[in-house]
Amino acid sequence: MSPTFPQSHPLRIGNVRRDLPICAVAPDLAIAVLNILGDTELTEAAADELSRKLLGLDFAALVTAEAKSIPLAYALALRLAKPYVVLRKQYKSYMGEALQAQTLSITTGKPQTLILDAKDRELVAGRGVVLVDDVISTGSTLAAMDALMAKAHARVIAVSAICTEGSVPELAAPLYALAHLPLFSGASQS
């Protein structure tokens, strides 16, 4: 008896519709996979919608984690005329005195390190920032991003994402999201 899951889950952002593939992440658990890398149309639609929600907020920079949400952060930065910071997963010598925090990814199931380099540390120190992610699920990536911002003496004034997923964790800052994705439990197949 193996679990069965739907093949896809519909998502609509603005006028753009996608059927997200369902992927098992545990024996009895699957998620709808949102991958905006290479999907310019969906990324642009999401940036249009999210930028409207973020207009009027007083912040210095958008902050995202490497890698899937980078196109969204870039598109938001253009619309909001703000710089964006990418928290990297590997240290490079040019990053100087970088800060680090740990996270556990739901998709890889492994611990990952997020790194804020010295140049970007100066950009966010003492200022308000908006955290950007493609999907917020367990909140572990956000917790690491938030920890890095605290170490850099930045204030997280808002969190933005295309989608939330499952049971959204409580956040200290307001959350701006465009859609919610369910978690899929496997039903036994005879």
In single-letter form, the type of residue at position 108 comes to T
Percent helix, strand, coil in the chain (nearest 5)?
25, 40, 35
**Distance (Å, rounded) from C-alpha 78 to C-alpha 146?**
23
Q: Shortest CA distance to 31 belongs to which of 112, 136, 144, 114?
A: 136
Q: Output 45 or 91, whichever has higher pLDDT.
A: 45
Q: Output 56 or 169, whichever has higher pLDDT.
A: 56
Q: What is the pLDDT of residue 113?
A: 86
In contact, 38 and 63? CB cutoff 8 Å: no
Question: Is the confidence at residue 188, as pLDDT, over 80?
Answer: no
Q: What is the pLDDT of residue 109?
A: 67
| SS3 at position 45 | helix
Q: What is the pLDDT of residue 111?
A: 80
Q: Shortest CA distance to 130 belongs to which of 143, 149, 115, 105?
A: 149
Q: What is the pLDDT of residue 179?
A: 96
Domain 40-181 class, CATH top level: alpha beta
The radius of gyration of the chain from alpha carbons, rounded to an integer in Å, stands at: 17
- Per-residue pLDDT tens for 113-140? 898 998 999 999 999 999 999 999 878 8
Q: What is the pLDDT of residue 51?
A: 97
Question: Is the confidence at residue 184, as pLDDT, over 50?
Answer: yes
Domain locations along the chain: 40-181
Q: Look up the pTM and report it.
A: 0.89
Q: What is the pLDDT of residue 143?
A: 87
